[in-house]
Amino acid sequence: MRVAVLGAGAIGAYVGASLCRAGVDVHLIARGAHLAALRARGVRVLSPRGDFSAHPHATDDPSEIGPVDYVFLGLKAHSYASAGPLLEPLLGPETALVAAQNGIPWWYFYKLPGPYENHRIEAVDPGGATSAVMPPERTIGCVVYPATVIESPGVIRHLEGTRFSIGEPDGTISERCRRFSEVMIAGGLKCPVERQLRDDIWIKLMGNVALNPLSALTRATMLEMCEHVGTRRVIAQIMEETLDIARRVGSTPEISIQKRIEGARRVGHHKTSMLQDLEAGKEMELDAIAAAVVEMADITGAPAPTLRTIYAATDLLARTALARRADAPSATRAA
């Protein structure tokens, strides 16, 4: 089996290194100092489950790799629509895309029976640009539970979790899902094939949509937000509104809100990915995590007042941060 990891960051490199342990022919696509380290020393994973190293092929040029059986997408969701030139050399007639993203995926309503079947979500598939690059029929959904960080170039710190739930958008248990699950498990990961993957999407999204934007606004860690009386109440309200939207589009995730908050609290003084991106001057993953959920509230008639308020404030924060970054070079020249 040949697998390319497009976007071999913290999660992508962790998956790639794990698949190497299963004997998979792995190719990592990365850039910068991280790529240089991957080429020179391979991937070093530091984990409470045991440290290990792997030495997959690493490149910034997918044409060196050619068509593969699976592409594991480690990119942020807002990069998907522009990923065509990187993706095209990797695609053969049967290549499957394993879309390991946070939030609502662009394929969400693809082959989903009901009033919204094949409805396009503009926030994550603007003008159909993402579907054009990543056709839903090629796609295997993936919900990522592990927490990892790049400790230094080529070195991945695995903090917790090994589960990557996967599933077909149409709910079937396909041979391509079974094969990918088998090699993930052989590499030391959990990879259940789920008929109702959308329920998993909502369970993870409950935390993402409540904690990520709020952390960007407050600069607080997960523990701080969950232990503060006021923000804990806001988190619970957003989670309740999110479950209401999920039910309106046919999902019934079985999860206690208080249990979900308590699980986030136990993570401790961890900064969410959105806060990390904000502090690093990177684009925040707001469209898939929050804007798409608000759009789904619009099409289903869900009120979601707290969600809408927090999203509006975070969207303004993201836009002003982007404008300031754009102005910074001219300000420097003027000085």
Q: Hey, which residues are catalytic here?
A: 204
- Reading the block at residue 229, the tokens are 């009386």
The span from the CA of 274 to the CA of 280, in Å, is 10
- Is 37 within 8 Å of 62 (Cβ atoms)? no
Q: How many residues does the chain have?
A: 335
